[in-house]
């Protein structure tokens, strides 16, 4: 629309089509000439005496709903409309039956007003007529199309027209087409596609095509807010219901069919089953879309028990129960992060039909550059300011050149070319594990003059809306957030995602990383993690099974961080069960910097495994013969579950040669050996890092048959960190580490004996005179006394 040459009459006609009064349209064109956008702005700015604006939610009551131009609005509403400005109509081409308002980034309109913008009675009645027609159309015509002008076009052309009209895109993507075709055939559908691929359109287009309402179940207020904000900009009436909705009247309006798309949290949809059945009868429900559907699964990263109860949708909205329905209302479930196990769980727990269509595309995001790096203490690091302010850590990228957008099928040359592109300017999201950190880091950045804001669920709703809006309006450089600002957020130019601290799973990590580079241009996803510490689970209510699963997911994430030799994108994509068709992404730190030098760690691997085998009384040899080099009559063979730390202390005690390599290094090696299948976790519990190692048969075979074979290994991140002596031990940890070193321990004990050095006062003892095993030092002492 914008930019096309129209005559004065055509502009006036279009304005009238949009619902503006004839006199306003004529006056506007007289004033600004045959310029459609300027004329709209002129009217919306209230420049022509009596011209009306688009409706505002808060001011717009059902009693004064009239055709747009005839509406009388309060001055406050008019003020808001003035703010709506010309951008509202950039993509608008208008239809005679509908009043649409493309709201734009607009600081003065409050979010709730933007979000809750009902359609008017006129449209609702037209819609009802349309839906009435549904009953008279031939059986095989599966939907009733809203736009009469589209008669004669096939559904794909209609969908493309709508896409062009509302969103400015030329055509639906092939996976969107597949999902829409399934919906048209009344089939349930599970859509698995990468973050930012455009899953939302799969359920938004049905609302535009049919005039029926689409109900979207969504897990996060921030996500519902985000989508409504966007839709209002594209002139589509949408609202969200649930605890985040500040206007109590919106729910009633929604149940009367006054919005095309209703976003709702699962708790609320379960409460609204009856009113929704009413809505299905009056205006019609085209589809139930369950967005971020991995939340259904206990095996997913963000399980929500209420999502599981959504099976009631299938039970309550089928043609058997509701006489007025010809077909069951289809379910469309969508996610970018579901492992194969999660997918099966989704289909089963939502009671989706046996004929559910599964639409799947690659999870690969070729323009995202993944990096993992050691996190320094935030407040003492010099990296923070520069990097968070948008300076790339890779200065040589900052050459001029035009960034290009690419998709999952892009060639290696195209992906390599991305490396030559400068990292464009754009906002950053920093994800931190705790709410407290969102505030402290946001404050820290603000002190440096960075426009930063905190986002976490404990902050006031109005603050969150404000942050969200400022983020979309490019008024913030950095949002420091918890997972509350994760899934689904769609802003095209986010250039950098920083995880400051370990994410809880690769699913969560990939979801959050997926906020970056949604415009297809190069973006960075950096994980700053303390590589010397094993991450721990954040507190949450979990069953025993869920705890196991949570540890498993955290462990996978830890291994991803420790990896130094495999393309990061490959690890991520394969985690979701996809065969990564490219060998490398060519962008991640591993691809760019290359793996570290491979080392032959045969000697170290052997001694570790022999000590483990000896402790468990396992023969190192398959014929049952026993080499007791590393067994020790005083060793705690009878002790339950000796842990890795003890094995390492023991081997360092026995050989000076291995002393320079500390626990951190051996921990890394143990993980590598576990990865080869030579040792396994001997505990019932799942640990993030192997803790109570036991030999496997394969390991015993390795010891016996591959004695002369080298054992080439890429040192993992913690091993490299250890060898670089770049440790972040506290003084206490140093002291403790000293105790683990037999030489230091001996010297200390000797010194104490000779000098009668009094015991350190902080060394607590339990009442019975035994070491206090609640403290690390006490536990070490207890272990030592057992070893003696």
Ligand X SMILES: Nc1ncnc2c1ncn2[C@@H]1O[C@H](COP(=O)(O)OP(=O)(O)OP(=O)(O)O)[C@@H](O)[C@H]1O
The residue ranges that bind ligand X (CB under 6 A) are 167, 169, 172-173, 176, 193, 195-201, 336, 488, 490, 492, 514, 518
Residue 327, classified by CB atoms within 10 Å of its CB into exposed (0-12), middle (13-18) or buried (19+), is exposed
End-to-end Cα spacing for the chain: 85
| CB 431 to ligand X: min, Å | 14
Between CA 450 and CA 477 the distance in angstroms is 7
Q: Which is nearer to ligand X, 292 or 662 (CB)?
A: 292
Q: Which is nearer to Mg ion, 169 or 705 (CB)?
A: 169
Q: What is the DSSP string of 354-367?
A: TT-EEEE-----TT
Q: Which is nearer to Mg ion, 199 or 225 (CB)?
A: 199
Alpha-helical regions (H) of 305-382:
305-308, 311-316, 340-349
| CB 555 to Mg ion: min, Å | 27
198 binding partner (options Mg ion, ligand X, none; Cβ < 5 to 8 Å by kind): ligand X
**To the nearest 5 percent, what fractions of the chain are helix, strand and coil?**
45, 10, 45
Between CA 341 and CA 73 the distance in angstroms is 54
| CB 616 to Mg ion: min, Å | 49
412 binding partner (options ligand X, Mg ion, none; Cβ < 5 to 8 Å by kind): none
| CB 370 to ligand X: min, Å | 16
Q: Which is nearer to Mg ion, 73 or 238 (CB)?
A: 238
| CB 361 to ligand X: min, Å | 9
How far, CA to CA in Å, does 719 sit from each of 643, 657, 659, 742? 19, 17, 14, 21
| CB 488 to ligand X: min, Å | 4
How far, CA to CA in Å, does 372 sit from each of 531, 589, 592? 10, 7, 12
Between CA 517 and CA 491 the distance in angstroms is 9
Q: Cα 549 from chain centroid?
A: 19
Name the residue with the smallest CB distance to Mg ion: 488
How far, CA to CA in Å, does 315 sit from each of 51, 114, 264, 311? 49, 34, 19, 7
Between CA 762 and CA 739 the distance in angstroms is 16
Reading the block at residue 285, the tokens are 């429900």
Contact letters (x/-) for Mg ion, 583-622, by CB under 5 A?
A: ----------------------------------------
100 binding partner (options ligand X, Mg ion, none; Cβ < 5 to 8 Å by kind): none
| CB 176 to ligand X: min, Å | 6
Name the residue with the smallest CB distance to ligand X: 198
| CB 267 to Mg ion: min, Å | 20
Contact letters (x/-) for Mg ion, 484-503, by CB under 5 A?
A: ----x---------------
**Residues 102, 11: contact at Cβ < 8 Å?**
no
Q: Which is nearer to Mg ion, 291 or 589 (CB)?
A: 291
Q: Which is nearer to ligand X, 279 or 487 (CB)?
A: 487
| CB 292 to ligand X: min, Å | 7
648 binding partner (options Mg ion, ligand X, none; Cβ < 5 to 8 Å by kind): none
518 binding partner (options ligand X, Mg ion, none; Cβ < 5 to 8 Å by kind): ligand X
- DSSP annotation of 758 reads P
Q: Which is nearer to ligand X, 111 or 361 (CB)?
A: 361
Options 425-433, 480-488, 639-647, 762-770: segment touching Mg ion (CB under 5 A): 480-488
Q: Which is nearer to ligand X, 177 or 615 (CB)?
A: 177
Q: Which is nearer to ligand X, 200 or 781 (CB)?
A: 200
Binders of Mg ion among 188-247, rule CB under 5 A? 199
Q: How many residues bind Mg ion (CB under 5 A)?
A: 2
| CB 338 to ligand X: min, Å | 11
Reading the block at residue 286, the tokens are 């085209």
699 binding partner (options Mg ion, ligand X, none; Cβ < 5 to 8 Å by kind): none
Between CA 587 and CA 595 the distance in angstroms is 13
Q: Which is nearer to ligand X, 490 or 507 (CB)?
A: 490
336 binding partner (options ligand X, Mg ion, none; Cβ < 5 to 8 Å by kind): ligand X
591 binding partner (options Mg ion, ligand X, none; Cβ < 5 to 8 Å by kind): none
Between CA 327 and CA 579 the distance in angstroms is 37
Q: What is the DSSP string of 422-466?
A: ------EEEE-SSHHHHHHHHHHHHHTT--EEEE-TTS-HHHHHH
173 binding partner (options Mg ion, ligand X, none; Cβ < 5 to 8 Å by kind): ligand X
Between CA 388 and CA 400 the distance in angstroms is 21
Reading the block at residue 155, the tokens are 């559904």
Q: Which is nearer to Mg ion, 200 or 532 (CB)?
A: 200
Q: How many other CB atoms are found less than 10 A from the CB of residue 626? A: 14
Applying CB under 5 A, the residues found at the interface with Mg ion are 199, 488
């Amino acid at each position: 629309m914008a930019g096309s040459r129209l005559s004065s009459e055509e502009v006036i006609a279009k304005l009238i089509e949009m619902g503006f009064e004839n006199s306003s349209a004529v006056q506007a064109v007289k004033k600004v000439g045959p310029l459609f956008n300027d004329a709209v702005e002129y009217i919306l700015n209230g420049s022509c005496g009596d011209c009306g604006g688009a409706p505002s939610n808060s001011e717009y009551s059902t009693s004064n709903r009239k055709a747009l131009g005839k509406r009388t609005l309060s001055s406050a509403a008019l003020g808001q409309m003035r703010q709506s400005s010309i951008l509202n109509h950039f993509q608008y081409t208008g239809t005679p039956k509908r009043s649409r308002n493309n709201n734009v980034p607009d600081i003065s309109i409050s979010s709730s007003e933007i979000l809750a913008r009902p359609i008017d009675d006129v449209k609702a009645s037209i819609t009802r007529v349309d839906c009435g027609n549904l009953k008279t159309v031939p059986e095989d015509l599966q939907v009733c199309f809203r736009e009469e002008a589209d008669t004669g076009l096939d559904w794909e052309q209609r969908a493309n027209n709508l896409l062009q009209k509302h969103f400015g895109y030329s055509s639906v993507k092939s996976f969107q087409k597949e999902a829409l075709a399934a919906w048209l055939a009344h089939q349930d559908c599970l859509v698995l596609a990468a973050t930012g691929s455009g899953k939302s359109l799969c359920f938004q287009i049905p609302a535009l095509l049919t005039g029926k309402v689409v109900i979207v179940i969504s897990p996060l207020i921030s996500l519902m807010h985000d989508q409504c904000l966007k839709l209002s900009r594209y002139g589509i009436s949408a609202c969200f219901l649930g605890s985040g909705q500040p206007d109590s009247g919106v729910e009633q309006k929604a149940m009367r069919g006054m919005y095309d798309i209703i976003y709702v949290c699962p708790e609320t949809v379960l409460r609204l089953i009856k009113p929704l059945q009413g809505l299905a009868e009056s205006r019609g429900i085209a589809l139930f879309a369950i967005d971020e559907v991995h939340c259904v699964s206990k095996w997913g990263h963000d399980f929500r028990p209420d999502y599981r109860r959504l099976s009631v949708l299938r039970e309550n909205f089928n043609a058997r129960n509701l006489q007025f329905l010809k077909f069951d209302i289809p379910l469309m479930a969508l996610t970018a992060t579901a492992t194969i196990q999660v997918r099966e769980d989704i289909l089963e727990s939502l009671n989706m039909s046996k004929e559910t269509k599964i639409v799947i595309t690659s999870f690969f995001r070729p323009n995202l550059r993944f990096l993992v790096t050691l996190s320094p203490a935030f407040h003492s690091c010099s990296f923070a300011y520069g990097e968070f302010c948008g300076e790339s850590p890779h200065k040589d990228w900052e050459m001029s050149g035009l960034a290009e957008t690419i998709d999952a099928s892009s060639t290696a040359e195209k992906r390599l070319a991305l490396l030559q592109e400068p990292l464009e300017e754009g906002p950053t999201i920093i994800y931190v594990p705790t709410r407290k950190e969102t505030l402290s880091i946001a404050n820290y950045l603000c002190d440096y003059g960075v426009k930063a804001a905190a986002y976490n669920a404990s902050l006031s709703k109005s603050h969150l809306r404000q942050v969200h809006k400022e983020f979309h309006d490019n008024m913030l450089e950095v949002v420091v957030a918890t997972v509350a600002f994760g899934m689904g957020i769609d802003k095209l130019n986010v250039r950098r995602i920083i995880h400051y601290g370990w994410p809880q799973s690769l699913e969560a990590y990939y979801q959050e990383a997926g906020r970056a580079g949604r415009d297809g241009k190069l973006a960075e996803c950096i994980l700053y993690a303390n590589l010397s510490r094993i991450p721990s689970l954040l507190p949450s209510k979990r069953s025993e099974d869920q705890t196991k699963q949570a540890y498993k997911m955290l462990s996978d994430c830890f291994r991803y961080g420790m990896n130094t030799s495999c393309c990061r994108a490959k690890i991520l994509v394969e985690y979701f069960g996809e065969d990564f068709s490219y060998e490398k992404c060519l962008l991640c730190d591993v691809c760019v910097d290359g793996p570290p030098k491979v080392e032959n760690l045969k000697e170290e691997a052997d001694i570790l495994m022999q000590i483990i085998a000896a402790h468990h009384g396992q023969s190192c040899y398959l014929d049952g013969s026993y080499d007791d080099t590393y067994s020790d009559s005083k060793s705690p063979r009878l002790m339950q579950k000796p842990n890795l730390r003890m094995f390492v202390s023991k081997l360092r005690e026995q050989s000076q040669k291995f002393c320079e390599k500390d626990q951190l290094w051996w921990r890394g090696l143990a993980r590598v050996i576990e990865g080869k299948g030579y040792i396994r976790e001997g505990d019932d519990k799942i640990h993030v890092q192997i803790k109570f190692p036991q030999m496997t048969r394969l390991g015993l075979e390795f010891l016996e048959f591959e004695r002369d074979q080298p054992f080439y290994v890429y040192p993992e991140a913690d091993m490299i960190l250890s060898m670089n002596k770049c440790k972040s031990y506290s003084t206490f940890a140093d002291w403790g580490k000293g105790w683990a070193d037999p030489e230091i321990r001996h010297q200390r004990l000797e010194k104490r004996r000779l000098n009668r050095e009094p015991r350190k006062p902080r060394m607590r003892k339990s009442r019975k005179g035994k070491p206090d095993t609640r403290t690390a030092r006490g536990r070490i002492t207890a272990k030592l006394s057992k070893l003696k």
